[in-house]
Chain A
Amino acid sequence: MPVVSNIMLDITSTTMSALDCQALRMCGEYLASGYFEVPDASNLRRLARGLRRHFELAPLPEWHGDLLYPTGSADLPAMQSAIRFSYWSSLVVDTPTLEAKLRQLHDQSLNQAHETLYAAGQALQGFYRVGSSIPAEYGLGGAGYTHSIINYGRILREGLGGYTTRLEHYDQSCHDATKADFYAAMRDVLAGLTALCKRIQALVETAMAQTPYFRKNGTRLLKALRQAPQQPVRSFYEAIVATNLLWYIDGCDNLGRFDQDLWPYLEQALTFSSGGSVPDKTANESVRTEALELVRMLWRNIDANSGWNVAIGGSNGNGGPAYNELTAICLEAAVGRRRPNLALRVRRDMPDTIFDRTLDTIASGCGLPALYNDEGYTYHLPGIYGDMGEDRYHVAFGGCTETMVHGCSNVGSIDGGVNLLVVLDKTIKAHLVAANSFDDFITAFLADVRMTIAAIVACVNTDQRLKAACQPQPLRTLFVDDCLERGVEFNAGGARYNSGVINVGGIANVADALAVLRELVFTNKVNAERMLAALQVNYHGYEDVLQAVRGCPRFGNDDERVDSLAVTVARETFSAVRSHRTWRGDTPFEPACIMFVTYAGAGEIVGATPDGRHAAEPVADSIGPMQGRDMHGPTALLRSVCKLPLQQAIGTPVLNIRLGREILSTSEGREKVKALIRAYFAMGGMQIQATVIDQEVLRDAIAHPERHADLIVRIGGYSEYFNNLSSALKLSILERTEHC
């Protein structure tokens, strides 16, 4: 592992007495109390102790008599504390909560407690924040938010007990002080989790005693909790209970390959219920119905916490198809839901029944699931990580759609991003008038792109180093392979696969703009000065220039004249991103085009551009054309997009299309949609997601938001309530060309 050096760590090792820790507990600051308990230990160990205390002592969310615990919106790793832990930022101080607490202590004249909490707050305020070393202009779509997928399947199989056994084994076989500290930290985390599980059992017992009505579910839940996640799970229900709880513990992030991890348990139940030689259809049906109900409950929890990605289907470890009844259940449970962000890995041999279910869910208007070219991902992932053996089949996604490997990777989220329109703006100002030829200009632009990417990567790698130094992730270190085996913390590169995602925005706008410059400026139909003047005043008074611009070829229409420019820009940008290596894993960065809500924001900071885009207008959505500029239907659009080196942008080149509701309402129409998607993947498309909403509905929703509280649209990498969007974004979604 690379060594962190020359970094000023802004963490004070303020020593506090045992008494002070007691005072922090009194204020409900259990994490902080633990953190200051072991002042001389490593930061990882201090945080681990903090988490342990938190899990041992912090108040728990209520149990409402459900079959799962917790349910609804609940932040298990934070619970009301001012100094809290989260997977995306490690330790943070929530200033408003801290101030409120301090005021309260002051009012109650609890001076000693006040002083201690104040000191703790001061000491930890300076804790390095994720992404602080990445300037806003390089943070397109994210700056180091850290999605991940813990190894759910393994925890279900081994139980936490299995982790304890392995931990002791590794610990005994190493004789190194840092490692000893590392394993002590992991022991603390496991102790905290064990305490948490016990406390949850007690909570359920108490609630059952108080509310007899809760008994029925409570008895079942309790039985499951006595086994899972401590011991290996034995049934599908136990597996769901454990998965749900672990997901909350992990801060409501991603489930990864849920339908693979849990299928053995459901399969067993379905096999038993069909009763060997005398199949019992009703029993079988009821097992399925219950499984669907449980998955619905889990999805509801994920939705309530704005949780992230679940990747289903695709390939098994042998490279064979991995579709099962649970895959279908996952799809069915997502009907009408906004989250989880369901990602379906589509293979050529995916059963038609799964495809039909998929279209049912898409037709429900929720924008789920997004579809992934399984052959494409599993084939191209080793391009980042080298030889991966069967791991390449365990590709899954975090957050919107950042590409990672299930249970054993640290890819984070979008670490940084390049807004190509910002770069183009600079190149235009510096070179347009002076450039001798179009080729000169494009060369200057690509040089600027490479320079910008180098600058972004430098910041991102600094951030990765600082994360390792200051932001240990004790839970992920325990649950993401192979941190425990290697004795290396998660952010320090302990995971088996490490990379980072760099986002690229505005390819279509830049291609359109370059086509305009070539057709108009470098032919002198509109000279450079006039173009600059028009851009300067946002085309005001230059309507003729704007008209001429609109007559130029546009990306998304299968028009070689501009598609070839998009290819050049994408190829150069992606390869520039991949030419840099991550600090964390010494691997190439994963380029991505994921412009979820950010494509409006990305446009806000950019003045008018030569593609006819006015100042502050949104930029193109992800890898697709600029909204409303594709005029030749979906086949032309898909062909344009497939000319781009999509496989290079393995971090996910997102493509949003809008389908008319009508086409999904007939079986012939559905077959055509399937064919469209299959052809897209056969041509090298990597990811596609569809929204099905009538244009009139969108118009009405803009005019009358109150009537459409439940309207969900698909943007960039995920689904969002239409009403949550800015008006610029709403309009740009309305403009997105509707196909068929």
Chain B
Amino acid sequence: MNPITATAATTHGWIFDIQRFCIHDGPGIRTTVFMKGCPLSCLWCHNPESRRQQFELAFYLSKCIHCGHCLQVCTKGAIRGDDARIDRERCTMCGRCADQCPGEALRMIGHKESVADVLAVVMRDQPFYETSGGGVTLSGGEPLYQHEFTHQLLTACKRQGLHTAIETSGGAAWERLDAIRSSVDLFLYDLKAINPEKHRQQCGVDNALILANAKRLSATGAEILFRTPIIPGFNDAEDDLRLLSEFLLQLPNPHRLELMPYHRIGSGKYEALGLTYPLPNVQAPADMDGYKAVLTQNGITCL
């Protein structure tokens, strides 16, 4: 085994899903690797299972056939008879209940995979990348959270000649971004709010690093598509759009911006994980054209 394959086999990362035929995260037909762990905690996060770098136990009440197996197998007394089912204080995430659950109502989310194994799955769709100009997208969570794994996976993909994209919030030390730069064809860079106060409130961290990284990355000439989720009542005021435009316009290179309408698809997952959905009353924006018009007028190329 050459040293590179050896590390590919031994370096492991926490991932929670690999989705094939993704058609919205970069050019062509892609496979998206969803990784666990994220330094941010956005209120509207639609992948709450991606936040922690560890197992999550999810319980889907609608799938439960009330067979009672789980009550018997849990040695920690962490299974309750009620609709929430799991006493998360007691649960040690051993996974036994999910193993035995015939209804797939209890499910362990997250697993450690080696770079080589992930690459093998990704490579399955190579014929489709070839005809479509697609490739692989790393998403999450925040892929830079597990920067070593991410770095190796990207390098391995590049070695196979794949088009690579990474979806990032930019919330990582510059060195990490800099290290992967040469193995990334496209950055899908999230800008959630420019106003630092808002960012702190809504995403749990300061955005100074994110904005500084964006500038430095732009200066390197990297291919970046900025993406902003539109969360009605949070980051969609005129002032927000103005700040966003100003920020983009003062970057060293011109970049396009894609608006992502807020959706509630993730809300069921909160329940399954025993969490409370933080935005119970926000509705999906009825129409994106208004936002786009404002941004376009500000001189932004908006998708």
- A-side residues, CB < 8 A to B, are 543-544, 547-548, 551, 558, 632-636, 639, 663, 668-669, 671-672, 674-676, 678-679, 682-683, 739-740
Chain B: CB-nearest residue to A633: B21
Q: Given that A639-B124, A672-B29 are contacting pairs, would A632 and B20 also be in contact in the complex, using a CB cutoff of 8 Å?
A: yes
A279–B243 alpha-carbon span in the complex (Å): 56
In angstroms, Cα B29 to Cα A671, docked, is 10
Contact (A679, B102) CB under 8 Å given A558-B124, A639-B124, A669-B23: no
Which A residues are CB-close (under 8 A) to B131?
Answer: 674-676, 678-679, 682
List 6 interface pairs A-B (beta carbons < 8 Å), by A numbering: A547-B102, A633-B19, A672-B29, A674-B131, A675-B132, A679-B127
Q: Is B125 an interface residue (CB 8 A)?
A: yes
B238 at the interface (CB under 8 A from A): no
**What residues of chain A lie closer than 8 Å to B134, measured between beta carbons?**
675
Asked if residues B23 and A636 are in contact (CB atoms below 8 Å), the reply is no
Please name all residues of chain A whose beta carbon is closer than 8 Å to the beta carbon of B28 when the two chains form the complex: 671-672, 675
Whether A635 pairs with B125 at a CB distance below 8 angstroms is: yes
B219 at the interface (CB under 8 A from A): no
Chain A neighbourhood of B124, CB < 8 A? 558, 635-636, 639
Kindly list chain A residues whose C-beta atoms are within 8 Å of the C-beta of B132. 671-672, 675-676, 679
Whether the Cβ atoms of A675 and B20 lie closer than 8 Å is no
B127 and A682 within 8 A (CB): yes
B87 an interface residue at 8 Å Cβ cutoff?
no
Q: Is B65 positioned at the interface, with any CB of A under 8 Å from its CB?
A: yes
Q: CB distance B20 to A633 under 8 Å?
A: yes
Asked whether B102 lies within 8 Å of A675 as measured between CB atoms, the reply is no
- How far apart are the CA atoms of A548 and B20 in the complex, in Å? 26
Bound CA–CA A683/B102 (angstroms) = 36
Let me know if B102 and A544 touch, CB within 8 A.
yes
In the complex formed, the residue of A with least CB distance to B69 is A544
Given contacts A676-B21, A679-B127, A683-B127, 8 further A-B contacts (CB under 8 A): A551-B102, A632-B20, A633-B21, A635-B29, A672-B29, A682-B130, A740-B21, A740-B23
CB distance from B162 to the nearest CB of A (A): 14
Q: Does B39 contact A (CB under 8 A)?
A: no
B104: A residues at CB distance < 8 A: 551
Residues of B within 8 A of A544 (CB): 67, 102
What mask results when residues 107 to 121 of chain B are scored 1 for a CB within 8 Å of chain A, else 0?
A: 000000000000000
Q: Least Cβ distance of A679 to chain B in Å?
A: 4
What residues of A have a CB within 8 angstroms of the CB of B29 in the complex?
Answer: 635, 672, 675-676, 679
Residue among A639, A675, A676 facing the most chain B CB atoms (10 A cut-off) = A675
Chain A residues with CB below 8 A from B127, complex form: 679, 682-683
Q: CB-CB < 8 A to A740: which residues of B?
A: 21, 23
- Complex alpha-carbon distance, A150 and B131, angstroms: 37
| Closest Cβ–Cβ distance, residue A168 to chain B (whole Å) | 55
Which chain B positions have C-beta within 8 A of A672? 23, 28-29, 132
Residue among A543, A633, A634, A740 having the largest count of chain B Cβ atoms under 10 Å: A633
How near does chain A come to B62, taking the closest CB pair, in angstroms?
A: 15
User: In the complex, A632 Cα to B131 Cα: how many Å?
Assistant: 19
CA distance A674 to B132 in the complex (A): 8
Interface hits, B14-32 → A, CB 8 Å: 19-21, 23, 28-29
B128 within 8 A of A: yes
- Please measure, in the bound complex, the distance between the C-alpha atom of A634 and the C-alpha atom of B19, giving whole angstroms: 11
- Write the chain A residue with the least CB distance to B18: A632
B254 interface contact, C-beta 8 A = no
Interface hits, B123-162 → A, CB 8 Å: 124-125, 127-128, 130-134
CB proximity of A346 to chain B, nearest CB, Å: 12
B21 A675 Cβ-Cβ under 8 A? no
B21 touches A663 (CB 8 A): no
Residues of B within 8 A of A558 (CB): 20, 124
From B21, B67, B103, contact of A634 by CB (8 A): B21
User: Do A635 and B128 form a contact, CB below 8 Å, given A543-B65, A675-B28?
Assistant: yes
Chain B: minimal CB distance from A631 (Å)? 11
CB <8 Å contact, B103 and A679: no
The CA-CA distance from A676 to B127 in the complex, in Å, is 9
> Which residue on chain B has the smallest CB distance to residue A666?
B23
Q: Is the CB–CB distance between A635 and B20 below 8 Å?
A: yes
Residues of chain B within 8 A (CB-CB) of A543 are 65, 102
What's the least CB distance linking A393 to chain B, in Å? 24
Q: Cα distance A549–B127 when bound, in Å?
A: 32
Q: Is the CB of A636 within 8 A of B20?
A: yes
- Give the Cβ gap from A477 to chain B, nearest Cβ, in Å: 45
A residues near B23, Cβ cutoff 8 Å: 663, 668-669, 672, 740
Q: Are B102 and A639 in contact (CB under 8 A)?
A: no
Instruction: Enumerate the 8 nearest inter-chain pairs by beta-carbon distance, A residue then B residue, closest first.
Output: A675-B132, A547-B102, A633-B21, A675-B131, A678-B131, A679-B127, A679-B131, A679-B128
The CA-CA distance from A639 to B103 in the complex, in Å, is 28
Distance between A713 CB and nearest chain B CB, rounded to angstroms: 22
Distance in angstroms from A662 CB to nearest chain B CB is 10
